[in-house]
A and B are shown apart, each in its own frame.
Chain A
Amino acid sequence: MKVGHRLRREIPLYLMILPPLALLVIYNYGPMLGLVMAFQRFNPALGFLKSPWVGLYYFQRMLILPDVGRVIGNTLYIATLKIVFDTVAAVVVAILLADIRSARFKKTVQTIIYYPYFLSWVILGGIFKDFLAVDGLVNRFLGLFGVAPIRFLSTAPLFPWILVSTEVWQITGFGTILFLAAILGINPQLYEAASLDGAGWLRRTWHVTLPGMRTTIVVMLLISLGSILNAGFDQILNLYSTSVYSTGDVIDTWVYRAGIQQAQYSLAAAVGLFRSVVSFVLIAVGYYFAYKKADYRVF
């Protein structure tokens, strides 16, 4: 094929990719370039190009602000707990679900446990504020055992655990899908062989099911590495209050308050830049190993 002809055939392809590519450049790459504002005393009226440069001033401020250390600590703590509990819960529920024989019962259970995943945290926030209220169902239930009403959403030491448990409540069902698929992919002959060797359910689970799920578990853990600085912005913003800032305020909620509500644009952008860079490194490392170990790839 001649060069000119080839190019002519490619012109429609460039025309097609142009609109999405333009939006990608403006709204994804624009903000990346806009991160220069972290090195400026940013003034929205002057913009990214004309705001005065201040070098690392805001990064130095970030290091001495007690808030920042606290929110990074909270973020790591909450996100780690979530990764561990989300994964364990989904793996366990998937294994138990795979053991159910009645197809109808299984399907009904799946329908019910998957649905919370699709509700927004605005709705779930509204729901849990009633559910966990002083006169809510949880406290009524605990009251049966003589436990005094607990202010779940405004007790600082409890708050991270509320975040973990409500998230586990929301996504465990949906999270089982991948693990169930992994279990279904296990060669049934392995189970038969194990049974012939006299292995009971527990030993079959330990020696056949879990090893069969290993790749999927490892890949999911590697990928969730990237979310270690993302402790669940939507969830926290809809559940937290000033009384739990000490344990529930995370990087994203802090950036929102500092950057949007208090208009400390450059400081918030500096913290945001820190978050983006660390997340990027972890995501890249996670994907790299997922690719190496399990041939996982997106494109």
Chain B
Amino acid sequence: MIDRSRARTAFRVLNGTFFVLYAALCLVPVLQVLAISLSSNTAVVSGRVLLWPQMATLRSYSYILEKDAFWTAMQVSAVRVVLGVSVSMAMTVLAAYPLSLSKEKFRARGAIVWLFLFAMLFSGGMIPTYMVVRYTGLINSIWALVVPCAVQIFNIVLMMNFFRSIPPDVSESAEIDGAGHWLILLRIYLPLSLPSLATMVVFTMVFHWNSWFDGLLYMNESVKYPMQTYLQAILVQPNPRMITKATAELLRLISDRTLKAAQVFIAAIPVLLAYPFLQRFFVSGILLGSVKE
């Protein structure tokens, strides 16, 4: 098709410009935080920092990396991600396989599907959930960040749909050879769905890394906070007093503001690293569970 009019060309140029500006707008807030984190406090206070570090220094980063509290939070997050992803993936696979079978093969399917579906639509809300977590003895335990959110119904639906797309002849021939359900799941379904599983693992990792509210809710001591909760606590405090034993020279380089900025950026790094993997998959991922016309 040939575009005849000049208006059309003008529109394309405008459209391209719009997207350059839009993309810039997506980057600018993050670049400002990065610039603040890499600038000396003197430059930040005098308002010279825009998008590029002024009187650049890594002192904010090295100051944070020397702090025990930071590493404690990092460690909690690491444990949380490992436990959370393993438990959640196990639950997803264990629920998805039986639910992917026909009603003839798994007669309880109908009722169980409704249980999962209803839980997607209705929730008890924050306060009763908090009480249940408390009564099951999870308060102040790392498991409070793992177990209550282990059943991700949306992931189960995605996995179930994926299992259903595996041709039935594959499992049927295995069944004729005498393979049971466990064998079919472990030896046939799981190897066939490795790419989907990998995607889901990355998404679940990001979910666990990003979660912060359950840490705030279920952990009574701040030493048990995961990274994002620890960061949130710092960011909402009016005077976080992160700097102890400050010399005048140090205060020229860092301040609570530059330290906050540095920690915001550090907390974003794992997600930015995972992002290329996420991007490769999420388009197909979110389309899977959506509009079927």
Contact = CB atoms under 8 A, between A and B. Distances in A.
Is chain B a partner of chain A in the same complex?
Answer: yes
Interface of A: 9-10, 12-14, 16-17, 19-21, 23-35, 37, 44, 47-48, 93, 96-97, 99-101, 105, 108-109, 111-116, 118-120, 122-123, 125-131, 135-137, 140, 169, 173, 177-178, 181-182, 185, 191-192, 195, 200-201, 215-216, 219, 226, 233-234, 237-238, 252, 255-256, 259-260, 265, 268-269, 272-273, 275-276, 279-280, 283-284, 287, 294-299
A123 to B, nearest CB: 5
A273 B95 contact: no
A299 B123 contact: no
Given A17-B98, A295-B292, A30 B132 contact: yes
B29 A128 contact: yes
A10 B36 CA distance: 60
Is chain A's binding surface mostly helix, strand, loop or mixed?
Answer: helix
Given A27-B148, A35-B125, A276-B125, A127 B30 contact: yes
Contacts of A20: 91-92, 94-95, 150-151, 156
A260 B181 contact: no
19 contacts: A13-B181, A16-B98, A16-B182, A23-B147, A23-B150, A30-B124, A31-B131, A31-B132, A96-B15, A99-B15, A113-B22, A114-B282, A123-B271, A125-B232, A127-B264, A130-B33, A178-B286, A200-B5, A268-B126
A294 B293 contact: yes
A257 to B, nearest CB: 11
Nearest to B182: A12
A31 B231 contact: no
A169 B150 CA distance: 30
Contacts of B119: 24, 28-29
Contact of A27 (B32, B36, B132): B132
B107 A32 contact: no
B127 A123 contact: no
Interface in B65-87: none
Contacts, number: 282
Nearest to A192: B1
A46 to B, nearest CB: 11
Contacts of B217: 260
Contacts of B166: none
A97 B95 contact: no
Interface string B43-64: 0000100110000000000000
